[in-house]
Amino acid sequence: MRWQLAIMWLFASAFAAPVIKWRRQIVTPKHLMAPPLLPIAQDKVVVTPQKLREVADLKAMIQKAVDENTSVVSAAPSKILSPQHID
């Protein structure tokens, strides 16, 4: 009798409708669901004598570091690939 119940259970489960219906579901990242951001307003660039002095000071500091060979780069200039060498 036990084996008959087992066979009956297997037969019933094979033809029964699945409890869980598998379906395809498209998942969208939340950042794509948000409304698009407004474009950033382009303000006018204001050039003042103070800003010009600050830029000149920065340029001088960079040039001094290059002249003294104390500048820091991510790779030696010989190892930096030009656009023609990139595969």
Rounded to whole angstroms, the Cα distance separating 77 from 56 reads 25
Q: Is the pLDDT of residue 34 over 70?
A: yes
Q: Is residue 40 part of a domain?
A: yes
Phi, psi (degrees; rounded to nearest 5) at 74: -75, -25
| pLDDT more than 70, % of the chain | 69
Q: Is residue 78 part of a domain?
A: no
Structural domain boundaries, residue 47: 1-68
Structural domains in the chain (count):
1
Mean of pLDDT values over 12-32: 70
Residue 40 one-letter amino acid: I
68: left (phi over 0), alpha (psi -120 to 50) or beta: alpha
Query: What does the pLDDT read at residue 26?
Result: 75
Query: What does the pLDDT read at residue 52?
Result: 95
Q: Is the pLDDT of residue 87 over 50?
A: no
